[in-house]
A and B are shown apart, each in its own frame.
Chain A
């Protein structure tokens, strides 16, 4: 049986892609969801930074029924400073690290926080 030259090349291409692809695509990326929460007195104070083009930490746990104050540190830049949590009606442009937005989560559950364009996102877990 005579195999066409093009078929041989095609087999070679597929084999190369599969072998190298298996090697290079098998690794899972590491993700870090560290919780950083500073509670002081009656208000739960949370300071969020920025890492890998996203809010960091991007999973925050707070208690229901207690006021939460969120500030963005100096690493957060651009449109990421326009902070929103749609479910709680939070939408505030936090111009400096001293600016913060306060709200009281009343319902338990997971809520998404994001910048106004939705490019940076995270989860607020109300317990």
Chain B
């Protein structure tokens, strides 16, 4: 079972065949919401695109990266402890780090870490429970750590190459999430699909996460230094 077979499975029917579709639906939903917000409200904000465009754009890309894994995990539902812990840790960490980074860069350390931790712990626990308490604990810890680290990294990069760091962090996260998709694919060759989420599930999740991120980045409370 190698990576080539995983790539081939992306064009077939089944769980892995839905991964690219999930990214597409997530991006479409999020960009549509951002577009609607922009034309009705956000374009009136002075310097909106230079100030927030980059961080909102990469925030949305981050969710499009995380949602396929959530759908893949939910499809198989149950995993052995080691795999479940890895799932909880990876999703919790990435889902905490990226939103924490992008919100931290615009709102400061406190709100960046609170938002990152909230998203990271929620998604980490939700996905980690595929193997029971161990996965839940791992997801919770990873979300906690990722949220704090994301916001902290953004603040420490503030006077350095913040945007370049954002792109590098995103690229590394993308590789890690693809690795997770491959790991799940490898671990589930003898397992049967137990659940099928509709496309609406991805749209709703993208909708909620995008709205929360827009509200937080644009209208959220700020550190006194970013006012």
Contact = CB atoms under 8 A, between A and B. Distances in A.
Interface of A: 4-7, 9-10, 12-13, 16-17, 20-21, 23-30, 50-54, 119-121
Contact of B53 (A13, A25, A30, A119): A25
A58 to B, nearest CB: 9
A25 B57 contact: yes
Contact of B50 (A5, A6, A10, A30): A30
A125 B98 CA distance: 38
A12 B28 CA distance: 9
Contact of A51 (B11, B57, B225): B225
Interface residues of B, number: 27
Contacts of B28: 12, 16
A4 B82 CA distance: 35
Contacts, number: 68
A24 B57 contact: yes
A27 B50 contact: yes
Given A6-B10, A6-B20, A9-B23, A24 B155 contact: no
Contact of A52 (B10, B34, B49, B226): B226
5 contacts: A6-B11, A9-B21, A12-B24, A30-B47, A52-B158
Contacts of A17: 27, 61
Given A23-B53, A29-B50, A120-B159, 13 more contacts: A7-B11, A9-B21, A10-B20, A12-B24, A13-B23, A20-B34, A21-B57, A24-B57, A25-B53, A27-B47, A30-B50, A53-B155, A53-B158
B91 to A, nearest CB: 20
Contacts of A5: 11, 17, 21
Contacts of B34: 20
A50 B225 contact: yes
A51 B158 CA distance: 11
A9 B159 contact: no
Contacts of A25: 53-54, 57
B57 A20 contact: yes
B161 to A, nearest CB: 12
Contacts of A21: 57
Contacts of A9: 20-21, 23-24
B56 interface: yes
Contacts of A13: 20, 23-24, 27, 64
Contacts of B158: 52-54, 119
B53 A24 contact: yes
Contacts of A121: 159
B51 interface: yes
Interface centre among A20, A26, A28 (most CB of B within 10 A): A20
Contact of A54 (B21, B27, B54, B159): B159
